[in-house]
Amino acid sequence: PWQRMGNFKYLVMAPVVVHGAYRVMNKGWGDIDLAYSLILPSLALRMIHNQIWISLSRYQTARSKHRIVDRDIEFEQVDRERGWDDQIVFNGLLFYVGYLAMPSVRRFPLWRTDGAVATALLHAGPVEFLYYWFHRALHHHFLYSRYHSHHHASIVTEPITSVIHPFGEHIVYFTLFAIPMLSTVYMGNGSALVFVLYIVYIDFMNNMGHCNFELVPKWMFQVFPPLKYLMYTPSFHSLHHTQFRTNYSLFMPFYDYIYSTMDKASDELYESSLKGTEETPDLVHLTHMTNLQSAYHLRVGFASIASKPSDNSEWYMWTLWPLAWLSMVVAWIYGSSAFVVERIKLKKMKMQTWVVPRYNFQVTNSPGHLCVYLMVASCLTIFFLPAVWSNMG
């Protein structure tokens, strides 16, 4: 509903801030209970959590040999998925409305073990079951063409693909995930930390399942074999995005086993993705960062910044200076070895972008670093030039 607001969409959370400021000015900080104090920080935590997954996934997809779908991401997908934080804002509004509607949450303790157990059981039971059948219904041509096809337009998935849905689907998903939370509220064993951890679990599993590389180690299933029924893998869900009619489960695949909708290639794809295939590029674009803030223009950084010219800074860039300095320190510790940040296929030619973790002022002020940079560039040119000429021929 706030799509036209652009980056001003966060203003829809203004009532939460105004309400909190009013309570503090009238009755002091003691009037702010635990549940209310966690609304905005939990939203910030979710955004940071998702951004970490975005950067990790793009970095690993560029360099890892464990890629699942060996295709590039289309520009249309990048544009379509830029609003990944919309659902976080939407959830924040609903949590605020729920806080106002249910006075009992204002007396929430920090933790209750019985509430945590009830939340886990209610998720494994009603939530997973209802999601499975709702998901299958979404693949009926009537609902698929009107709703779910928007999500499945992304064949090569990224973590944020998990939350790219039409608004109507978001309402249903929030209703499903609210079942354990509302149940513990009415049973009287709800707690603030259980709510937060449950949302973190949902985000973690959503992001992990939509990575385009396999990261779940095999030893986990060897140590505890039933885990294969309780936790999906990125390759398991990737088959759903390529085959469409299999692997419907949310996070726990046992309903696909029960109703015989598990893709027969699931185990094979998991094994092959874990084993991986080494790739030798035909062409390497060697580059380095210019100023401190240029790190954010890498594809593994923030899409809202990386999609714009480096000399067109956003108004909030000054707030990122501490992170910029930290990235320079990390780069200094990491050393001068280039790392892969992007991988592109141009017809039959495989190209990678390698970044030397050095900035303009480090290269120009240090003859030694400049010599290393030139030597690396020369070696790469000598090594890859024959391959490039053969592809052009």
pLDDT range class, residue 291, cuts 50, 70, 90: confident
Whose tokens are 């830029």? That residue is 82
* pLDDT tens column, 179-213: 999 999 999 999 999 999 999 999 999 999 999 99
The answer to whether the CB of 232 falls within 8 A of the CB of 209 is yes
Q: Is the pLDDT confidence value at 391 over 70? A: no
Q: Residue 229 has what pLDDT?
A: 97
* Mean pLDDT, rounded, for 374-383: 57
Region 299-313: mean pLDDT is 74
Q: How many CA atoms lie within 13 A of 160 on its CB side?
A: 26
- Mean pLDDT across 18-40: 95
- pLDDT for 373 equals 55
What average pLDDT score do residues 332-336 get?
69
Residue 292's pLDDT is what?
Answer: 76
On the question of pLDDT at 375 being above 70, the answer is: no
CA–CA distance, 62 with 284 (Å, rounded to integer)? 13
pLDDT band (50, 70, 90) for residue 71? confident
